[in-house]
Structure 1
Amino acid sequence: MSCVLFKELESACGLKIGIATLNSEKSLNALNMDMIQLLTPQLQKWKDDDSIALVLLEGAGEKSFCAGGDVVSLYKAMATVKNGKIDPTDYIENFFTAEYKLDYLIHRFEKPVLLWGNGIIMGGGLGIMAGASHKVVTESARIAMPEITIGLYPDVGGSFFLNKMPDQVGLFLGLTGASMNCEDARFVGLADYYVKHNFKADLIEKLLLTKWGKTKSLNHDKLSEVLQSFQNTSGKPPISEVKNHIEKISDMSGFNSLIEKVDYLLSIEIEDKWFNRAQKGLSHGSPLSAHLVFQQLKHAKGLSLGDCFRQELSMSVQCGRFGEFKEGVRALLIDKDGKPNWKFSNLNLVPQEYVAPFFESLWDKNTHPLATLGKE
C-alpha cells in the first residue's frame, strides 16, 4: 500500500476537498523521501485544480500525524561518507532539498490547507504543519523540535517560525527540545484551533456541507468559521506549560551569550516535571547543536522564508558532513544506547571556527538548489 493516500471528496456545492494521509503507522508516519515525492506533485496539482476548494493533511492511525523526518535513511547515507566529504548529488542534499521545497509549497499554498494535528508531531512533521493555513491540534497533540538530541538543529523552517514566537521562547524550545501540548502550540503560534479528536468525522461532514466558492480568501474565512464552531464545543484545553513558565523563559533576554543563557536555565531550581525535562534535554543535548541553534536564530532574524530555507539547506548538508548528526542518530535510533559521544563535552569547548562554516552557503545564488523559492 502507498505510503501516502490521496482522495477527493465532493462537497454539496460541487467543489472538492483533497485529502492526503501519511500512511506509515509503524514508523509513526515519519516523513521519508517516497512520501515527499508523492506529496509534492499532488499538492501542486490540487493547487492548480479549480475544482479543489481546500486540502486536508492528516496522519494514519491514532498515535501520530508525523513523528519527524526519516533520519534512519539519512544515517545510512552518512555512513557512506569518507574523509568528511559528500558528493554534491548525495542523498542527504537531495532529501533536505525535496523536503524544504514541500514545506515551502505548503507555506505558499493559496487555498486553505487544514492540518489535523493529532498525536505526535515532531521535526519534519512540524515543518509540514507550520505551513498550513489552518492548524488544528487535538487533546493528544505532542509537539517538539528535539533535534538537539540527535546533533542537528530545528530545520524545516524553524529559522523562520521560531523567531516569530514570544521573546526567547523559540530559542528555549530549540535548546531544550521541550515537548508542547495542544495549548502550548496555540500559545507559541504553531497551531490555530483546538478541536477534540472525536469530532473529526463530524468536522469533515460539516466541510462537505459548506458552500465553497471560487474566491480563495472567502474559503479561508468559511473554514475558519467552521473550525471556530468546533473549538467552541471542544471544552477547555489543558494549561499551556510554556505560558505557565514564560517569565523564567523570557528572563533569558537578560543574558547576552549562549553560555550565560544556558547557565541561567540550568541554574533554575524548581520541582516541575515539564521544566525539569526541558533542563535535562538541554544538558544532554549536543553542545555543537546548541551553538547552531543560537546562531541560527540570530542569522535568520528578518530573513524571508525562502532565505531561511536556503540557509538551512547549507546547515543541514554541513551537519551531514561534520559527524555530530550521525552520532546522535546512532545513539538514539540505531544502537539505542542513549550515550552519544559528542565531539565537544560542553559549550565552552566548541570553537567558533567550527560553528562559522555552517552559516556559509555551499552554493552561489544562481546554483543554489533552492534558488527559486520566493522568486516564482
Structure 2
Amino acid sequence: MEKRLMTAEQIEEVLFEERETASGLHLGVITLHVEKTLNSLTLNMVERMLATLRDWRDRSDIACVFIRGAGEKALCAGGDVQALYRSSIEQPGGPCEYAETFFETEYRVDYLLQQFAKPVVVWGHGIVMGGGLGVFAAGSYRVVTEKSRLAMPEITIGLYPDVGGSYFLNRTPGNSGLFLALTGASFNASDALYLGMAEGFIEHQYLEEVLDALTRHAWSSSVGDNQERLFDLMRGFVEKSAGARPEGNVEPAAAEIEALCQQDDDVAIIEAISTLQSDNPWLQKAGASLAAGSPLSARLIIEQLRRCKGLSLHEVFKAELVLSTNIVRGREFAEGVRALLIDKDRNPQWSHDSAAAVSDADIAAHFAAPWAENPLNTI
C-alpha cells in the first residue's frame, strides 16, 4: 500500500471537537496540534481559536471547554517566535503586520478565556511557557501534572512576560511574580499551586479518564452550577494523585527572593539577582538567566509590572499591546531571537551593556502608544 505524506498545509495546527455529554449538552475540546514545535501558537491557530471560542461562548449547548496539547511533551511552548522574528526584520521600525496582528489576536483569545463564564479546563502537562502560559492562566480549572514545566522566559529574547503576565504575575505571593518575570525561571506543579496559578495536581495518566468523566457528566443548563460541578468532579482525581506531587522550588526560596527584591531601586534589584551566590541551584540558575538576558527587557519588566499593578484585565491587555508593538518594531527582540534560535550562537548583542545604561527616555519611549487608538479598546 502506498504511503501518503501530508504536506504542511494539510496538517491541522489546532483541532476542535464537540463531545455530546450525558445531559445532551456538549464538551468542547481544543487540541493544540503541532507537536514538532511543541504546539507553539501561530496566527492561524489563534484566529481559529478566537472564532470557535466566540461561537462556543454564545451557544447554550456548550457546557464546558477543555484545552490540551498534542503529544507528551507540551501544552504549548509559546508563540511561534521565528515567525514573529521574520515579521520584525522584514519591516524594521514597523508596522510589523504579522507580529502585531498575532499579538492583538492572541490577547483577544486570552481575554476571552479569562472572561469565559462556562468552565474552562486547561491541561498543563509538559512545557507551558510564554503564550502557552497565557492560555493556561486563563482557565477556570488549571491542571498541573508531574511533568509540568512552566515559565515566562522572555528575558532571554528581549521581550517581557505578556499574555496577561502583567496581571497574574502581580497577584502571586510577595515578589515571586517579579522574580519569575525577571529571571524566566521555570517552576513545577507544586510551585504553580503555591503561586495561585493552578487549581489541581492530577497525574497525566488520568487524562483520558478525566475527559471520559467530563463527557459522561450530566451538565446543568446553569453556568454557575457547572463551575461547582467541575470542581467536585476533579476532586477525586486530585486525591488519587496526591502522592505524586514534586517538591516545589519557589516557596522554599521565598525568603531569599524577598531579600533580593527589597533593594532601593530597579537597577539594584536587577544587579542583586544577577550577581547572587546561593547554595540553592534553582536560585543560582535563575540569577544566571537574568545576567545573560536583555538589560532593556529587565528594566521594562519592572516598569510594566509597576504600571499594571491594580489595573483591570482589559486595561492590562491594552497596555501589553502597546509595549509588545513597540518592542517588535525595535531591534532588541529580533537580536534575542537571532542569537537563541536563528544563528544559535547564544551571543546576543543587546542594545545596552547593563541595566544602569538604560535611560528613563529609553523606557518611556516603549510605553508611548504607537497609534492614535488602541486596537483592543473594543475587546
Q: TM-score, normalised by structure 1?
A: 0.95
Paired AA for residue 51 in structure 1: D
For structure 1, the residue ranges without an aligned partner over 5 or more in a row are none
Structure 1 counterpart of 2:176: 169
Q: Output the CA distance in 1 between the equivalents of 2:36 and 2:262.
A: 44
Please give the per-residue CA displacement for 1:92-145, whole angstroms capped at 9, x wherever unaligned: 211111111111110011100000010000000011111111100111000000
CA contact (8 A) 1:167 1:253 kept: no
Q: Output the CA distance in 2 between the equivalents of 1:354 and 1:178.
A: 26
Q: Output the CA distance in 1 between the equivalents of 2:36 and 2:270.
A: 36
Match 2:53 to one of 28, 31, 43: 43
Matches within 5 A, 1:107-146: 107-146=114-153
Other structure's SS at 2:68 match: strand
Q: Output the CA distance in 1 between the equivalents of 2:81 and 2:271.
A: 30
Structure 1 counterpart of 2:5: none
Structure 2 counterpart of 1:348: 356
Q: State the number of aligned residues.
A: 368
Structure 1 counterpart of 2:21: 11
Matches within 5 A, 1:52-131: 52-82=62-92, 85-87=93-95, 90-131=97-138
Q: Output the CA distance in 1 between the equivalents of 2:274 and 2:336.
A: 22
Matches within 5 A, 1:136-285: 136-236=143-243, 237-285=245-293
CA contact (8 A) 2:201 2:242 kept: no
Structure 2 counterpart of 1:333: 341
Q: Output the CA distance in 1 between the equivalents of 2:20 and 2:144.
A: 25
Other structure's SS at 1:234 match: helix
CA contact (8 A) 2:76 2:132 kept: yes
Match 1:30 to one of 30, 35, 40: 40
Structure 1 counterpart of 2:298: 290
Q: Output the CA distance in 2 between the equivalents of 1:228 and 1:344.
A: 50
Identity within the alignment, %: 42
CA contact (8 A) 1:97 1:370 kept: yes
Match 2:316 to one of 308, 311, 324: 308
Structure 2 counterpart of 1:368: 374
Q: Output the CA distance in 1 between the equivalents of 2:215 and 2:100.
A: 40
1:2 aligns with 2:8: no
CA contact (8 A) 1:291 1:347 kept: yes
Q: TM-score, normalised by structure 2?
A: 0.95
Structure 2 counterpart of 1:324: 332
Other structure's SS at 2:128 match: strand
Paired AA for residue 289 in structure 1: S
Other structure's SS at 2:242 match: coil
Q: Output the CA distance in 2 between the equivalents of 1:208 and 1:100.
A: 29
Other structure's SS at 1:235 match: helix
**Structure 1 residue 15: deviation in Å?**
1.3
**Structure 1 residue 70: deviation in Å?**
0.7
CA contact (8 A) 1:116 1:136 kept: yes
CA contact (8 A) 1:142 1:179 kept: yes
Please give the per-residue CA displacement for 1:33-72, whole angstroms capped at 9, x wherever unaligned: 0101111111111111111110000000000000000110
Q: Output the CA distance in 1 between the equivalents of 2:362 and 2:97.
A: 22
Paired AA for residue 58 in structure 1: R
Q: Output the CA distance in 2 between the equivalents of 1:86 and 1:209.
A: 50
**Structure 1 residue 253: deviation in Å?**
4.5
Please give the per-residue CA displacement for 1:168-205, whole angstroms capped at 9, x wherever unaligned: 11110011000001111111122111000001111112
Cα separation, partners in 2 of 1:188 and 1:18, compared to 1, 3 Å: same
Other structure's SS at 1:303 match: coil
Please give the per-residue CA displacement for 1:309-365, whole angstroms capped at 9, x wherever unaligned: 11111101110122000000001111111111101111111111111111122234x
For structure 2, the residue ranges without an aligned partner over 5 or more in a row are 1-10
CA contact (8 A) 2:322 2:367 kept: yes
Q: Output the CA distance in 2 between the equivalents of 1:78 and 1:254.
A: 36
Other structure's SS at 2:64 match: strand
